[in-house]
Amino acid sequence: MKYLVTGAHGFVGSYLIREILKREPGATIVAVDRHGAGTRLDLLDLDACTALLDSERPDYLIHLASLSSVAASWHDPVASFTNNTNIFLNVLEGVRRSSAKTRVLSVGSSEEYGIVTPDQLPLRETSPLRPASPYAVARVAQEQLGEVYMRGYGLDIVATRSFNHVGAGQTDQFVISALGKQFAELAKGTRDTLSVGTTSVVRDFLDVRDVVAAYCALLARGQRGEVYNVCSGRGVSIADVIAMFETISGVRATVAVDPSRVRPVENAFVVGSNEKITRELGWHPAYSLEESLRSVYEYWYGR
Amino acid sequence: MKYLVTGAHGFVGSYLIREILKREPGATIVAVDRHGAGTRLDLLDLDACTALLDSERPDYLIHLASLSSVAASWHDPVASFTNNTNIFLNVLEGVRRSSAKTRVLSVGSSEEYGIVTPDQLPLRETSPLRPASPYAVARVAQEQLGEVYMRGYGLDIVATRSFNHVGAGQTDQFVISALGKQFAELAKGTRDTLSVGTTSVVRDFLDVRDVVAAYCALLARGQRGEVYNVCSGRGVSIADVIAMFETISGVRATVAVDPSRVRPVENAFVVGSNEKITRELGWHPAYSLEESLRSVYEYWYGR
């Protein structure tokens, strides 16, 4: 089979390509990214997207390309919106114009659910979407465009709402990676205090290796037109993560709140239900959060 | 007061400017459009939007610029999306970057509600949004971006979900104008048959003069962050409209279905409740549908 991966050189892309080749050693991978090796393409260029789909005609397209930082979306909402929604629209339009029989995996975000109260947890695929950041609005629009292309033009699309990822190689724009990096620096003595945002927020963290296993399962057996939470099902506060990093690193951290890490509007609780994907596809998380955090810490410590 | 109107040379813009000047003869109007007299601006140019807001700093901004045809959005979804959502995002970003104390009227659409069954009518502002066309997705994203800018950046935004407009001067891309034009041609003998799409669909039509009166009321007294249906509250089928045009024109039409007028996904019923805007603002429709259709017919007959 031929797989086209957008954002192939990003954090998730490298894990996904390894997972595909593990499952299907003879697979053809078309790795698309703005920079680096492989096929260089700016997905904001609709004609280039169409030409690529027309020439490659992949069996599967996994759309990982994204400016996926919520915090960054508050700093530059226009860049966030265009580099999430508009690039996805161009990808869909490329598939439509090329009439390729491509199955598309539309990777969305738990941020689509927006602000919720604890009694509304865990978040299910049927929960209302109340996006509360520029990034979240972009992801909701992406998902809705997918549904319109599926119903109106007959495209084959499976969508996810993916919760927070954890893993070695993630940039320190994201909270767990930022904490892991700082703990490695604290352990080496190159840093004195742990700089944090709001530590009371609760998130659902999933190891990136479990994320890409879920994506492969969804491509193979997910239902056309359906959306699936990709999550651990477990809520953990940032304060809990800090305590776990303290155990892993053997360092007791002095915490300092950095106002630049605090967002204009913050979701206090984000915990998903993975009941749909586990029931339909038999996928289950294979890594514990402890294992995931250890891999992050070791990644940064070794740099 | 200073009013900046985007899409000022469009169908609604000309009526709105007249309405503003009727209510406030000394008002300053900054008429912005891609072409024609006044301030020429491509709203897809973010820097130009920001510069304009920075220099004009209007009290009110009424965002009418839109590719507002659902049918056209199925033919070119990318153009529809960028010329609805992205232009609005640039307008908001221009207001934010200029720190102008501008009150923004975000004009949305009844299409945001999507496919509904008769038991879900009339559509209220609390009804779920299930956009079913590229245009509808674009309008939902616009509204959600407005909410994010309001909550996250403190902008002053009032939003509408405006239902179908009727009035002299509307292009024949829209159903009532297309029918009025054809009836004028039938009456003059320059046409034999009436070309239609799906005549069973039910819509809520409001005279454009009532629409702009509602917009002025919303600017003056609408609640910040709230969304308001702008509609007649009355559902009428296209078949009913055809019968009314037959009475107005004195012509009995031979109907022919044109497949190009039938859409991939069609909302069968769209009828709104105007209870919120009538209760809060005292606005009421002043024109009957008969008066509106007569104005459309006379417009085309006189051309």
- Domain harbouring A109, CATH code: 3.40.50.720
For residue B259, what pLDDT is reported? 86
The pair of three-digit structure tokens given for residue A156, joined into one six-digit string: 């084959």
Q: What pLDDT is stored for residue B190 in this prediction?
A: 96
Q: Residue A185 — pLDDT band, cuts 50, 70, 90? A: very high
The average confidence (pLDDT) of chain A is 96
B118 DSSP assignment: G
Residues A89 and A20 in one domain: yes
Structure token digits, residue A105: 């995996």
> Domain check: are A214 and A69 in the same one?
yes
Residues A141 and A184 in one domain: no
Which pLDDT score is estimated for A17?
Answer: 98
The yes-or-no verdict on residue B233 having pLDDT over 80 is yes
Q: How many domains, chain A?
A: 2
B251 and B155 part of one domain: no
Place B267 in a pLDDT band, splitting at 50, 70 and 90.
confident
A27 and A123 together in one domain = yes
A131 contact residues in B (CB cutoff 8 A): 144, 148
Section B12-29 average pLDDT = 97
Does one domain contain both A153 and A188?
Answer: no
Task: Give the minimum alpha-carbon distance from A95 to chain B in angstroms, rounded to a whole number.
Answer: 13
Query: Span B7-34, mean pLDDT?
Result: 97
Joined tokens for residue A24: 């299907």
Q: What is the CATH number of the domain that holds A246?
A: 3.90.25.10
Predicted pLDDT at B290: 97
Interface predicted TM-score of the whole assembly (ipTM), two decimals: 0.92
Q: What residues of chain B lie within 8 A of the CB of A80, using their CB?
A: none
Contact present, B255 and B170 (Cβ < 8 Å): no
Segments forming the whole domain that contains residue B292: 175-201+235-270+288-301
Q: Return the pLDDT at B89.
A: 98
Interchain proximity B144–A153, CB inside 8 Å: no
- Count of CB pairs separated by less than 8 Å, A with B: 87
Rounded to an integer, what distance in angstroms lies between the CA atom of residue B213 and that of residue B208?
Answer: 9
Q: Quickly state the pLDDT bin for A260 (edges 50, 70, 90).
A: confident
pLDDT at B103 > cutoff 80:
yes
Per-residue DSSP letters for A159-175?
EEEE-EEE-TT--TTSH
Contact A148 B132 (CB under 8 A): yes
**Range name among A64-73, A185-194, A256-265, B9-18 with the lowest pLDDT average:** A256-265
Return the amino acid letter for A23.
R
Q: What is the pLDDT of residue B199?
A: 93
> Tens of pLDDT along A268-282?
889 999 999 999 999
What is the rounded CA–CA span in Å between residue A106 and residue A144?
10
How close, in Å, is residue A141 to chain B by CA atoms?
6
Q: Which residues of B touch A49 (CB under 8 A)?
A: none
Asked if A153 and A100 sit in the same domain, the reply is yes
Report chain A residues whose CB lies below 8 A from the CB of B90: 78
Task: Copy the structure tokens of residue B60.
Answer: 């009110």
Q: Which residue has the tokens 């051309």?
A: B303
* Closest Cβ opposite residue A140 in set B46, B132, B144: B144
A116 and A264 Cβ atoms separated by less than 8 Å = no
Asked whether residue B132 falls in the same domain as residue B210, the answer is yes
Tokens of B174: 């829209």
Give the minimum alpha-carbon distance from A126 to chain B in angstroms, rounded to a whole number. 12
Contact between chains at A140 and B136 (C-beta distance less than 8 A):
no
pLDDT score of B206? 98
* Peptide bond between residue A122 and the one before it cis (omega within 30 degrees of 0): yes
pLDDT band for position B249 (50/70/90)? very high
Domain identity same for A20 and A100 = yes
Residues B223 and B240 in one domain: no
- pLDDT-derived band at B268 (thresholds 50, 70, 90) equals confident
**In the numeric block, which tokens belong to residue B147?**
């909410």
User: For testing the chain B interface, which of A93, A140, A144, A265 should be mutated: the one with the most B CBs within 10 Å?
Assistant: A144
Residue in B74, B148, B265 closest to A133 by CB: B148
Mean pLDDT of chain B: 96
Cross-chain Cβ contact B89/A74 below 8 Å: no
What would the pLDDT profile of A217-257 be if each residue is shown by its tens digit?
999 999 999 999 999 999 999 999 999 999 999 999 999 99
The C-alpha of B118 sits at a distance from chain A's nearest C-alpha, in angstroms, of 21
pTM, rounded to two decimals: 0.94
A49, A144: one domain: yes
A54 & A77 share domain:
yes
Q: In chain A, what percentage of residues exceed pLDDT 70?
A: 100
